[in-house]
Amino acid sequence: MGEVDAAFIQATEYRPKLAVVEADDIPLIDLSVLNSPDSPEPDATAIRPLIAEIGEACKNWGFFQVINHGVPLKPRQYLEIGARKFFALSKEEKKKVSRNEVNPLGYYDNEHTKNVRDWKEVFDFTVHNQTLITASHEPDDNELKEYINQWPDNSLELREECEHYAEEVQKLAYKLLELISLSLGLPANPCPVPHLALGVGQHKDGVALAILAQDDVGGLEVKRKTDGEWIRVKPTHDAYVINVGDIIQVWSNDRYESVEHRAVVNSEKDRISIPFFFSPAHYTIVEPLEELINDQNPAKYKPYNWGEYFTNRIRSNFQKLDVENIQIYHFRLPDKFG
């Protein structure tokens, strides 16, 4: 496992102005063939239809839901209960484990932040404690910073629930990444993959994959690529919502695109969502995969270091810099044929 790993619990409130289309278009993919006692090998004929289905979902949507995924239901249920208990604590208790620029793990809310379109409470934690990350956004600074999880007092139960849940979802993350690799015509484990580790307003995710558990309140909306309409992702029992992140967009050289999404509030119920982010180790250089570029399809992005990118995002978020946060399009190369 690499050094960069993070999972988040969020309760988000957001009121968009754009219309939302109620639709069942977002692909719902059954992974049961991977979880049978006689589970086939990655190159087996039995899973070729599944690989094609994953590829179409990544290409056309950048989002899909999975069912029969093999993740036990109880860890997710226990974690949701634990999350609700944590967010029900007094603000004073929650702020005892507040995150900051030095350590971006712990509690955060932006209730009093000016000029924001959403309100949320967040609790961030890494699956492996004492996570190391590049200490500076400066390219020549090789110092590493240690991030330590912060847990509320008397929270052994919550800590165990978080760790157990993350271990189970991590298994799903590796399965999905193998399927995505195969859908691109690559081996199940292309070069960058072994370096992976765990890693609400409208935005894209800078990670490789995001695996979201949303409660029955729902609220996730995805911008449809074909027409720009916002599509509401209806909660499906025991399903996970998967979205392609910016890193896969770069690796695939734009064959699979990270798309905008947002979360909306329910005026009658609190919303709990548990996103699990799958990201590279800090030393990973993110760039289009050699197998997917050639003279007719040249690289569309210049290489960037994930640790520097991640550190820059954290620095910008906490210092509230009056500049745009770093995005992958800042690394886009000029179109040679344009």
Of residues 305 and 256, more confidence is placed in: 256
Continuous segment of H or E residues that includes residue 109:
strand 106-109
Cβ atoms < 10 Å from Cβ of 194:
10
Contact 66, 74 (CB under 8 A): no
Q: What is the pLDDT of residues 163-212, one digit of tens each?
A: 889 888 988 998 999 999 999 999 887 645 444 443 344 445 678 899 99
pLDDT at res. 142: 64
Contact 222, 259 (CB under 8 A): yes
Residue 322 scores a pLDDT above 70: no
- Domains of the chain by range and CATH? 6-331 (2.60.120.330)
What letters, b where the CB count within 10 A reaches 16 and e where it falls short, cover 226-238?
eeebbbbbbbbee
Q: What residues contact residue 4 under an 8 Å CB cut-off, 6+ apart? A: 131, 133, 197, 198, 199, 279, 280, 281, 282, 306, 307, 310
- Residue 210's nearest CA partner among 184, 175, 173, 178 is 173
| C-alpha span between 269 and 9 (Å, rounded) | 16
| C-alpha span between 222 and 202 (Å, rounded) | 9
Bridge pairing between strands 28-30 and 63-67: parallel
Of residues 227 and 142, more confidence is placed in: 227
Q: What is the pLDDT of residues 12-23, one digit of tens each?
A: 434 444 445 555
Q: What residues contact residue 221 under an 8 Å CB cut-off, 6+ apart? A: 16, 20, 230, 231, 232, 233, 261, 262, 263, 264
Residue 3 scores a pLDDT above 50: no
Q: What is the pLDDT of residues 48-95, one digit of tens each?
A: 999 999 999 999 999 999 999 999 999 999 988 888 889 899 999 999
| C-alpha span between 92 and 96 (Å, rounded) | 7
What one-letter code names the amino acid at 181? Answer: S
Does the reported pTM lie above 0.85?
Answer: no
Q: Find the DSSP H helices in 195-301.
A: 246-251
